[in-house]
């Protein structure tokens, strides 16, 4: 496939074609982020759908945090995939992970809200 027909061009239009193993590993990482996003969305929906003994406003807040992080994760995963693929094609160092902080803060905040909600219910 010609580079001028591959999307995104700012990734595929530079450097040389890398060993397929590197591109496939990068793709697997991207797909792992997508699975994580789906799990976060499911967790947020489950918090609201199930009748759990958690303070209502804290349960809603935790569900909202999980859903928001679940919605933002795919975008950051795609950006991370593109940056890593571009770096591999150019032979430059891989960029540092950018979405780890979002995931850690979001999951910890949601867990804390659920814990407080359980303790005060």
Domains in the chain: boundaries: 60-121
Question: Tokens standing for 41?
Answer: 């969305």
Rounded to 5 degrees, φ, ψ at 115 are -60, -45
Rounded to an integer, what distance in angstroms lies between the CA atom of residue 76 and that of residue 36?
Answer: 12
Give the percent of the chain with pLDDT over 90: 88
Helix residue spans in 1-121 (DSSP H): 9-12, 20-49, 56-90, 100-120
95 DSSP assignment: P
Average pLDDT over all residues of the chain = 93
> 108-119, pLDDT tens digit by residue?
999 999 999 999
């Amino acid at each position: 496939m010609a580079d001028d027909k591959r999307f995104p061009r700012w990734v595929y239009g530079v450097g040389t074609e890398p060993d397929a193993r590197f591109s496939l590993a990068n793709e697997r990482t991207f797909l792992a982020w997508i699975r994580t996003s789906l799990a976060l969305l499911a967790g947020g929906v489950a918090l609201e759908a199930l009748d759990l003994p958690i303070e209502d406003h804290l349960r809603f807040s935790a569900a909202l945090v999980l859903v928001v992080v679940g919605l933002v994760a795919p975008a950051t995963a795609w950006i991370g995939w593109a940056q890593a693929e571009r770096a591999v094609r150019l032979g430059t160092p891989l960029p540092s992970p950018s979405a780890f902080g979002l995931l850690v803060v979001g999951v910890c905040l949601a867990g804390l809200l659920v814990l407080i909600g359980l303790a005060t219910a």
